[in-house]
Amino acid sequence: MEKTGSKLTDLTDKELVELALEQNQAAYIVLYTRYSTGVKTHISKYISQTEDREDVALESFQKAFSQIGTYNPEYKFSTWLYRIARNTAFDHISKKDREKNNLPTTSISETISEINDIAAAMHNPEDDIIKQQEYDKWIANIEKLKDDYRIIARMNLIDHFGYKEIAEQLEMPINTVKTRIRRAKEQLLKMMDVPDELQ
């Protein structure tokens, strides 16, 4: 694609992405300039501290640009970018919560009583199985889930958000939230090598 200097700001997002994939640094700068304010505004829905928003915005762009090859041009670039920003914001919130609470790596049975949604959502051998797992393994397995499940599982099982709160934060139907939490738990059980007869 033959696009040069002064013309870059007139290009579409998709054209800029094509240039970025060719290692055109100016294209990255234009994309950053075009969406910097929007990303910060999007992040402000989840993070109130200005300094934290700045850090998360920068990290969001770093993540987006490092994996720009995964962007699907059939969809809007802004949607893809804002999703990365949202995920990064939740990563930041989760990290802050863990630091603030100084979460231990002891048996999850010591914390499971505080996670009311687990018992309320499913009544099966899952509860007994979970209580036998180490907390660090539980966290590690949550982090291995795909984004759609990882974010919701983290909000529900770690940050203790209820279904309604998650639905409002992520702007999705509450039934979708419930379904994804259930499926996330099913995947976590498989990761924990739960015998088939107990699932």
Q: Which domains does the chain have, with CATH numbers?
A: 9-89 (1.10.1740.10), 103-194 (1.10.10.10)
CA-based Rg of the chain, rounded to a whole angstrom?
20
pLDDT of residue 91: 86
Distance between terminal CA atoms of the chain?
Answer: 54
Q: 171, 182 in Cβ contact below 8 A?
A: no
Looking at residue 199, its pLDDT comes to: 39
What are the backbone angles phi and psi of residue 134, rounded to the nearest 5°? -80, 145
The whole-number mean pLDDT for each consecutive block of 10 residues of the chain, a chain of 199 residues, reads 63 94 90 93 88 90 90 89 90 76 43 40 44 62 86 79 83 90 84 49
Give pLDDT, residue 115.
40
Question: Which pLDDT score, from 0 to 100, does residue 39 have?
Answer: 94
pLDDT at site 134: 55
Of 135, 93, 142, nearest to 111 (Cα)?
A: 135
Contact partners, residue 136, CB within 8 Å, separation at least 6? 105
**What proportions of the chain, in percent to the nearest 5, are helix, strand and coil?**
75, 0, 25
Say if residues 13 and 78 touch (Cβ distance below 8 Å). yes
- CA distances, 29 to each of 20, 81, 86 (Å): 10, 15, 21
Considering the entire predicted model, what is its pTM? Answer: 0.51
Q: Could you give the CA distance from residue 90 to residue 93 in angstroms, rounded to a whole number? A: 5
Share of the chain above pLDDT 70, in %: 73
What does the pLDDT read at residue 165? 83
**The pLDDT of residue 5:** 46
